[in-house]
Amino acid sequence: MSEIARFFAEVQDNVKGLHADPKVRQATLDWVAAIAPHKYSYNFTWLGRPVIQFPQDLAAIQEIIWETKPDIIIETGIAHGGSLIFYASIQQLLSGNGRVLGIDIDIREHNRAEIESHPMFGRIDMIEGSSIDESIAAQVFAAASSADRVMVVLDSNHTHEHVLRELELYAPLVTKGCYLVVCDTLIETMPEGSFPDRSWGKGNNPATAVSAFLASTDRFEVATEIDAKLQISVAPGGYLKCVVD
C-alpha cells in the first residue's frame, strides 16, 4: 500500500471511530446548542461576503464539488451571496465552464450590488422569486437543461412544507453521483423553543422534510460518512447522494 493510500485508509478508520462514538455526538450537540445564541454561523465570510454557514460544511461541500465536478450548482436562498461566491470560486479552480445559479424570493439591492461587482460573478446567475413557484422552477430547469452533472443545495425557507416542495421540484435535476444538500436539518436536534421568532422548529423543519422525501424515493441515500467526519454541521442527515439515474 502506498503512503497516500495508507493515509486515506487511516482517515477512513478515524471517521468510523467518530461514527461509533455516541459521547462525541452528544458533545457536538451540546456545543451547537451553546453557541447558537451567539449566531456562530453568521461570523464567517468567503472572499469578502458573509457566507452564513459552519466552516465544516464549507470544507465538506468543497470536497463534494472537487470530487463530482458538477456543471451547475443550484442553490435556493441567496442572502448575502457568500455561498454562491464560494461555489463559484471552486468552479473557477476546476477551470471548466461550471456555473452557479441562485434563487431567492427577495434579492436585496445592496446584496445584489455586492454580488454583481464580485470577481466571481462571471460564473453566477440569479433568479428572484419563490423557489416553490412552478414558473421559477421552470426557469431553473431551463438553465440546467444542457448540464450533464447537476448539484442542488436547499437553504431557503426551513419549514417542512416548503423544503418538501423544494425536494419534489428540484431533486429530479440531481444527476447520479452528484449531491442534493439540505441545509439546517440541525433544527430538529436543537432544544425546544430555540426559534421563537421563526415559523420552523422541532417537528417542522428540513430534517422532517428529508425523512418524508426519502420514504418516497430510492434515488438518494444519506451520506452518513460525511456526518461522521464533520460532527459539527448545519446539515446532519442532509447530505444526500444520488445513486440512481
CA separation for the pair 207, 183 (Å, rounded): 9
Q: What is the largest CA-CA distance in the chain?
A: 55
The answer, yes or no, to whether residue 67 has pLDDT greater than 90, is yes
**What pLDDT sits at residue 196?**
87
Mean pLDDT of 185-212: 94
Over the chain, what is the mean pLDDT? Answer: 97
* CB neighbour list of residue 67: distance below 8 Å, 6 or more residues apart: none
Structure pTM?
Answer: 0.97
- What mean pLDDT comes out for the span 213-236? 97
* Res 77 pLDDT > 90: yes
Distance CA 221, CA 223 (A): 6
Unique residue bearing C-alpha cell 421563526 = 198
pLDDT of residue 168: 98
- In this structure, the dihedral spanned by the alpha carbons of residues 98, 55, 243 and 156, taken in order and rounded to 10 degrees, is -80
Q: What is the CATH number of the domain that holds 46?
A: 3.40.50.150
Q: Provide the percentage of residues in the chain whose pLDDT is more than 90.
A: 97
- Return the minimum-mean-pLDDT range out of 18-27, 167-176, 189-198, 228-237: 189-198
Number of domains in the chain: 1
Host domain of residue 155: 3-242
Neighbours of 232 (CB within 10 A): 16
Read off the C-alpha cell for 95.
477551470
Q: Quick check: 192 pLDDT over 90?
A: no
> Which pLDDT score, from 0 to 100, does residue 23 have?
96
Residue 193 in this model has a pLDDT that exceeds 90: no
Instruction: Output the nine-digit C-alpha cell for 160.
Output: 417542512
